[in-house]
Chain A
Amino acid sequence: QSALTQPRSVSGSPGQSVTISCTGTSSDVGGYNYVSWYQKHPGKAPKFIIYDVSKWPSGVPDRFSGSKSGYMASLTISGLRADDEADYYCCSYGNNYRWVFGGGTKLTVL
């Protein structure tokens, strides 16, 4: 059950866009369209912001968008705001072992 691969950190200025990648294998990201993304602020519970690769839960702004190509999923955040600063985790449904998370990416808003 290897974790999905995410960059450890990304950064951007307010108003800019950033993209966080999430690389898996044919057994998880590449095999299923069940990639979710979670936003986690320190000391808080994770909040799901994207599911089924590119769908938005109710209440999540469309500044957050998801996509997938092959074994790589991506989360793009446009119009960066100070409160977007958080850790972001991707997660994919996978063969046999149900769920696998990425190692997390720390987003810094400069």
Chain B
Amino acid sequence: EVQLVESGGGLAQPGGSLRLSCAASGFTFSSYNMNWVRQAPGKGLEWVSYISRTSDTIYYADSVRGRFTVSRDNGKSSLYLQMNSLRAEDTAVYYCVREPGAAVTFDIWGQGTVVTVSS
């Protein structure tokens, strides 16, 4: 079964850090570009970051650029999101999302991990 499982969410203080992980299974992780997408409470979806299959191309939303860092370890079939200088507005469910190779869309989503930034 194709699956993405996020972990690492929790409570952080403003200005603090968290590292999210996403474990992939059921497919060849190294063959797919990956993204992080988040949803704040009561809000819509927001794309956060993209990383290519070989990590040579990385993009960030303006709202997180300079504070978040995306990375991946193809040997471990894992995706990561290092979140620094956290703000209250970063409070959200964070989803690990796959881009299929043959189409420009998001086809597989994890169940999400909750990040709460509060003092």
Residues of A within 8 A of B (CB): 1, 3, 32, 34, 36, 38, 40, 44-48, 51-52, 55, 57, 89, 91, 93, 97-104
CB distance from B113 to the nearest CB of A (A): 11
Residue B32 is within 8 A (CB to CB) of chain A in the complex: no
Determine if B44 and A101 form an interchain contact, defined as CB atoms under 8 angstroms apart.
Answer: yes
Q: List residues of chain B with CB within 8 A of the CB of A100.
A: 47
Count CB-based A-B contacts (< 8 Å). Answer: 65
Q: List residues of chain A with CB within 8 A of the CB of B111.
A: 44-45
Determine if B62 and A51 form an interchain contact, defined as CB atoms under 8 angstroms apart.
Answer: no
Q: List residues of chain B with CB within 8 A of the CB of A101.
A: 37, 44-47
Q: Can you list 15 residue pairs at the A/B interface with Cβ under 8 Å?
A: A1-B62, A36-B105, A38-B45, A44-B111, A45-B109, A46-B45, A46-B109, A47-B109, A48-B107, A51-B104, A51-B107, A52-B105, A91-B47, A97-B62, A101-B44
With a 10 A CB-CB cut-off, give which of A45, A52, A99, A103 has the most chain B CB atoms.
A99
* Contact for B95 among A1, A45, A52, A103, CB less than 8 A: A45
Q: List residues of chain B with CB within 8 A of the CB of A102.
A: 44
CB distance from A24 to the nearest CB of B (A): 14
Determine if A34 and B105 form an interchain contact, defined as CB atoms under 8 angstroms apart.
Answer: yes
Q: List residues of chain B with CB within 8 A of the CB of A48.
A: 105-107
What per-residue 1/0 map shows which CB atoms of B56-72 lie under 8 Å from chain A?
Answer: 00010111000000000
Q: List residues of chain B with CB within 8 A of the CB of A38.
A: 45, 106
Q: List residues of chain B with CB within 8 A of the CB of A51.
A: 103-105, 107
Question: How far, in whole Å, are A35 and B50 apart by their CA atoms in the complex?
Answer: 17
Q: Which residue of B lies closest to A87 (CB)?
A: B44
Determine if A45 and B110 form an interchain contact, defined as CB atoms under 8 angstroms apart.
Answer: yes
Determine if B103 and A91 form an interchain contact, defined as CB atoms under 8 angstroms apart.
Answer: no
Q: List residues of chain A with CB within 8 A of the CB of B44.
A: 3, 89, 101-104
